[in-house]
Amino acid sequence: MQEWKRLKRELVYEGSIIKYYRDTVQVPNGNVVEWDFIGHNGAAAVVPVTEDGKILMVRQYRNALDRMTLEIPAGGLNGADEPTITAAARELEEETGYCSKELSFLISLNTTVAFCNEKIDVYVARNLTASHQHLDEDEFIDVVAMDVEELTKMIYEGKLMDSKTVAAILAYRSRYC
């Protein structure tokens, strides 16, 4: 087996949710290359299922895309050691205004393997109880209840493209519908 060897990792910039590094790597043929790497503490997401089987989605503005998106509720961990189920429960309440004591693991995914180590664990939340949203000052989120089939159609029409949401909806549909 050919060997890849990281020779150096240099922190270039540290932001509020990511760390940007420049990696120097020796590749199997002996050449030395430089690659960008983004370090991320990880995140959690949740598929909130209402009593009538609809999924609560959040509509919000995403600066990176300069547009509104439709996503499942999600957010970063409060430190790399925070259990993802704790973060999923927190994000459910913060973003949708609902709580659940019944969260079950659905799927893990890496969002952008070419240059980032972000890992998201996704849970399913059932038996939702009303609470209230706890939005940050810069968050403006609308909650929308949608059918799984409608969301699946949006995926295949290219109207729903967020990777965690696509993976979560299709995994949920495969397992529960």
Can you tell me the distance from the alpha carbon of 135 to that of 141, in angstroms, rounded to the nearest whole number? 8
Task: Name which of 50, 57, 23, 56 is nearest 39 in CA terms.
Answer: 23
Query: Quick check: is 137 catalytic?
Result: yes
User: In whole angstroms, what is the distance from residue 149 CA to residue 166 CA?
Assistant: 13
Question: Could you give the CA distance from residue 100 to residue 91 in angstroms, rounded to a whole number?
Answer: 11
Q: How far is residue 150 CA from its own chain's centroid?
A: 21
Distance CA 53, CA 40 (A): 33
Residue showing tokens 């973003």: 95
CA distance 96 to 134: 9
Q: Considering 3, 51, 137, 157, which one is annotated as catalytic?
A: 137
Give the HSE-up count for residue 108: Cα atoms under 13 Å, Cβ half-sphere: 6
3-state secondary structure of 115: coil
The set of catalytic residues is 137
